[in-house]
Amino acid sequence: MPRRKIYRSNAEKQAAYRQRKRKRQPVTFWHRSDEWETPPELFAALDAEFHFTLDVAALPYNAKCERFFTPGADALRQRWEGVCWCNPPYGFVLRQWLRKAHESAGQGATVVCLVPARTDTLWWHEYVLPHAEIRYLRGRLKFNGSGNSATFPSAIVVFRPPLAC
């Protein structure tokens, strides 16, 4: 006896597959954007410690420093100097931002980043573990403009310039 057809067409079968795949995706990918605005109280505490001079991953309406780079300025192509705050986009480009933070520290900048604590990723093992000070944040952050707390843990990673011998 032949197997009963569930779908009327291949297109219907593919649509059902895509819908099942979306349901299986982790909640961290359900956010409409990969941009998460820094909670003001977290930034204030870090700014009191580091005295930031440049926000390298800002939008005009949420910049945390007087000097800032917007997506139009392409921060990854700019020179990061002084003490930099970086809350990068959390998508696939996160690795590029951390590489830039590491490289900028090598050129004399101090770069403080707010990132998801994804300790199982390649970028974490390439750039964070060997080159940065790591401060895990207790609990889940409630990002500015988001109704709920984040679905992932976060960490502050600090890239410092090499010590002069």
**Mean pLDDT calculated for residue range 139-163:** 85
Dig out the tokens for 137 from the structure. Answer: 């944040």
Residue 131: how many CB atoms within 10 A of its CB? 18
Stretch among 23-32, 33-42, 67-76, 102-111 having the lowest mean pLDDT: 23-32
Mean per-residue pLDDT, 100-110: 97
φ/ψ bin of 137: left (φ > 0), alpha (ψ from -120 to 50), beta (otherwise): beta
User: 125: Cβ–Cβ under 8 A, 6 or more apart, which residues?
Assistant: none
Q: What is the mean pLDDT of the chain?
A: 86
Q: Are residues 76 and 96 in contact, defined by beta-carbon separation less than 8 angstroms?
A: yes
- Range 55-67 average pLDDT: 92
Amino acid at 114: L
Question: Hey, what are 128's tokens?
Answer: 């964070």
Residue 62 burial (CB < 10 Å; 0-12/13-18/19+)?
A: middle
Euclidean distance between CA atoms 76 and 17, whole angstroms: 37
Residue percentage of the chain with pLDDT more than 70: 84
DSSP 76: G
pLDDT confidence of residue 7? 72
Supply the pLDDT for residue 151. 81
pLDDT at 65 over 80: yes
Judge contact between 97 and 76, C-beta under 8 A.
Answer: yes
Fold category of 31-159 in CATH:
Rossmann fold (3.40.50)
Domain ranges for the chain: 31-159
pLDDT over 60 at 105, yes or no: yes
Which of the four pLDDT bands, split at 50, 70 and 90, describes residue 34?
low
What is the dihedral sign for C-alpha 98, 128, 85, 91?
A: positive
